Amino acid sequence: MGVTREQTRRLAPRTRYGNGPNGGHAGNTAARILVVDDEASNVEALIRILNRAGFRHVKGTTDSRSVLQLLEDHNPDLILLDLHMPNMDGFAVLTQLRAAIPSDCYLPILMLTAADSAQMRQRALSMGAKDFLGKPFDVPEVLLRIRNLIETRTLHLALQSQNQSLERRVAERTAALERTQVEVLERLAAAAEFRDDATGRHTQRVAALAGALAVDLGVGETVSSLIRRAAPLHDVGKIGVPDRILLKPGRLTPRELGVMRTHTTIGARILGGGKSAMIQMAQRIAQSHHERWDGKGYPYGLAGEAIPLEARIVAIADFFDALTHDRPYRSARPVETVRVEISRRSGAHFDPQVTEAFLSFQSPEQMLR
């Protein structure tokens, strides 16, 4: 049983309660409301009550089966839902709504009930209902309960917006800090590189070739980009190697060779503890780019796929660039000679799959200029 047209005219307030769910007072009339009741008189009565209170975005239906479509079309801020209906009762509709509404979305549902038992009310509450409105309708109660629920939704939306704004600010600050950290490390890597590469372009060339190899190997754009950005830091540990060893023109003694090899672990320590995926990848590359597929590399003698893929990729790019450019202790070798050497070392020094990708490039030297 609903209210009469005369009761609606007599009891409905004439003033607005607020400015809408996007801001302003909580009982705001900009809210979108959906009324679901199988009795057309009840739907009409509630729409009249709400319209006279200033609510202009009210949609009603007597067919409970249309609720999901109306949820999408009307995008309500509040749903008034009858409990006892043919075809689909209120419980069935609540089940559909619970599946359709995201868990982080507060969409209040006000149940329209007669003298229902406490057990039925508890069941409705457990399924997502937020409040109850008894029949026949008392207009002041209708508006107060609607106002309270819309206020709660307004506050929820405001809090959600504030949280999203804070998350964006935190993400922006984090990204800025990461960019600063990367810049500092790249400058440190450049400082180390200039000690044995007069052009200072070695790291850039290695990064370009490593990125191209990653793309060819099909690791995906995200990983390829990370490898391209992390690869320049592969030799950052050379900052800790004395000049008398790093720039020695002749063959290194076993002791000197041991010191030279520490640039992998020094680099890993410099890059250790990074929070970003790029710094973490750079650490793995710095530490493992001198490991060998056959387990005879350093610093830990890793073999095969125990070596991180990004390190296996940078290993070939670093080897190719280092041998095809002049260094203080030796002259550059011809490109084709180095390609043949890389092919010969496939399955021993280098990952066969990465080697195959490298050899598929017609002119890898072009991207290293």
In the predicted structure, residue 3 carries a pLDDT above the cut 50: no
pLDDT tens figures, 180-235: 877 887 787 777 777 766 556 888 899 999 999 999 999 999 999 999 999 999 99
23 vs 193, residue with greater confidence: 193
CA angle 56, 60, 62 (to 5 degrees): 170
pLDDT tens digit sequence for 305-344: 999 999 999 999 999 998 998 776 678 899 999 999 999 9
Query: What value does the CA radius of gyration of the chain take, rounded to a whole number of Å?
Result: 35
pLDDT at 89: 93
* pLDDT at residue 362 is higher than 80: no
- String of DSSP letters for 143-182: HHHHHHHHHHHHHHHHHHHHHHHHHHHHHHHHHHHHHHHH
Give the pLDDT of residue 13: 34
Between CA 126 and CA 327 the distance in angstroms is 74
Q: In whole angstroms, give the CA distance from residue 350 to residue 123.
A: 65
The residues with which 319 forms a beta bridge, in sequence order, are none
Other CB atoms closer than 10 Å to residue 50's CB: what's the count?
Answer: 25
Average pLDDT over residues 273-287: 92
pLDDT at 197: 66
Q: What one-letter code names the amino acid at 29?
A: T
Q: If you classify domain 5-166 with CATH, what class do you get?
A: alpha beta
When pLDDT is averaged across residues 344-348 and rounded to a whole number, the result is: 97
Provide the residue ranges of all domains of the chain, joining segments of one domain with +: 5-166, 194-368
Residue 52: CB atoms within 10 Å: 16
Statement: 194-368 belongs to CATH 1.10.3210.10: yes
In the structure encoding, which two tokens stand for residue 128, read together?
């997502």
What's the CA gap between 161 and 74, in Å, rounded? 21
Q: What DSSP assignment string belongs to 175-233?
A: HHHHHHHHHHHHHHHHHHHTTT-TTS-HHHHHHHHHHHHHHHTT--HHHHHHHHHHGGG
Q: Which of 100-109, 115-124, 301-310, 333-342 has the lowest mean pLDDT?
A: 115-124
Of 206, 239, 237, residue with least CA distance to 310: 206
Ranked by mean pLDDT, which of 193-207, 252-266, 314-328, 351-365 comes out on top?
252-266
Q: Which of 293, 289, 317 is nearest to 305 (CA)?
A: 293
pLDDT at 180 (0 to 100): 85
Backbone φ/ψ region at 114: left (φ over 0), alpha (ψ -120 to 50), beta: beta
- Cα(281)–Cα(278) distance, rounded to whole angstroms? 5
Choose the weakest-confidence range: 268-282, 283-297, 302-316: 268-282
Which of 320, 289, 319 lies closest to 302 in space, CA to CA?
289
Q: What are phi and psi of 142, to 5 degrees?
A: -55, -50
Give residue 263's pLDDT band: very low, low, confident or very high (50, 70, 90): very high
pLDDT digits (tens, 9 = 90+) for 202-214: 888 999 999 999 9
pTM of the model: 0.57
Q: Which of 231, 215, 352, 327 is nearest to 288 (CA)?
A: 231
Give Dmax (Cα) for the chain. 106
